[in-house]
Amino acid sequence: MATQIDLVNRALLQIGARAQVSSITPSDGSTAADAASVLFSPTFQQLARAANWNCLRNQAALSLLQAAAGAPENIDGTSLPVTASPWLYGYALPSDCLRVRQILPQYTGTGLASTLTTFNNLAPTIIPNGGAVPFAVAYSTDGDGNPIQIILTNLSNAQIVYTVDCENPTMWDASFQAAFVSSLAAFLVPALSLNLPMMQMSIQVAEAAIARARAADGNEGVTCMDHLPDWLVARGAGNWVTGYSAAYSAPYDNVAWPG
């Protein structure tokens, strides 16, 4: 199984570095290890947000922190802190969340926990819009005034699908590892050599690796079409008020390359 050191050394080899490193946490004291120790985490985090990678997908029930006054969980507005208008609920953002992908209702054996409808367990479950629910990630404070991040939504008993902050390469698939190695290599070039032509070439190699990894990753999941025909847009599709919520499957981020 690949380790962080394995991937760092692959990145160094990719840019023609002769030296290898033995440790980055802590650094072994070499210039390359010092640079890798600083660049490893931000490079991973940017790449992790660059697609809905299957190997970094996690799903969990959310912990309720806030609710609008009058909501069943906060009838008189005193049981819980009141959430920001116009949202009904505020949930704790998981501490290992890098990017929220979707908010979904929780399922039980007899129906949806949010009492949207009931369904036959023997039949496939179908939820409009793939279950996508409008949400916003926001700043808030806890009871002691400490800053926290919350998820605002109008769905009760919600669960989250998100990109998990997992820097353990043994959990990454081979395509994601290759994309990470090429991305880290692109960031190491200016840190170690200031060779701008090599940096530009390394960025092109990294972008190609990311594109291949996205394609391979997408082929392992369910393919869907995000494009809305004009006749649906004219009838309000894409507007959460009408119930269409395609826009709430968050788009990918792009990697911010050096230079």
What mean pLDDT is predicted for residues 71-85?
94
143 or 31: which leads in pLDDT? 31
How far, in Å, are 13, 25, 30, 161, 245 from residue 19 at the CA level?
A: 8, 17, 9, 41, 51
pTM of the shown model: 0.81
pLDDT for 105 equals 87
Look at residue 114 and tell me whether its pLDDT is greater than 80.
no
Look at residue 202 and tell me whether its pLDDT is greater than 90.
yes
pLDDT for 244 equals 37
CA distance 160 to 199: 38
pLDDT for 1 equals 82
Look at residue 104 and tell me whether its pLDDT is greater than 70.
yes
CA distance 54 to 176: 10
Of 72-76, 152-156, 251-255, the range with the lowest mean pLDDT is: 251-255
What mean pLDDT is predicted for residues 226-231?
61
Highest mean pLDDT among 60-74, 112-126, 129-143 belongs to 60-74
Look at residue 173 and tell me whether its pLDDT is greater than 50.
yes
Look at residue 59 and tell me whether its pLDDT is greater than 60.
yes
CA distance 256 to 49: 11
Kindly give the interhelix angle for 4-14 and 31-48, rounded to the nearest 10 degrees: 100
Look at residue 228 and tell me whether its pLDDT is greater than 90.
no
Look at residue 99 and tell me whether its pLDDT is greater than 50.
yes
pLDDT for 218 equals 86
Mean pLDDT (the chain, rounded): 85
Spell out the SS3 assignment of the chain.
CCCHHHHHHHHHHHCCCCCCCCCECCECCCHHHHHHHHHHHHHHHHHHCCCCCHHHEEEEECCEEEECCCECCECCCCCCCCCCCCCCEEEECCCCEEEEEEEEECECCCEECCCCCECCCCCCCCCHHHHCCCEEEEEEECCCCCEEEEEEECCCCEEEEEEECCCCHHHCCHHHHHHHHHHHHHHHHHHHCCCHHHHHHHHHHHHHHHHHHHHHHHHCCCCCCCCCCHHHHCCCCCCHHHCCCHHHCCCCCCCCCCC
What mean pLDDT is predicted for residues 186-215?
95
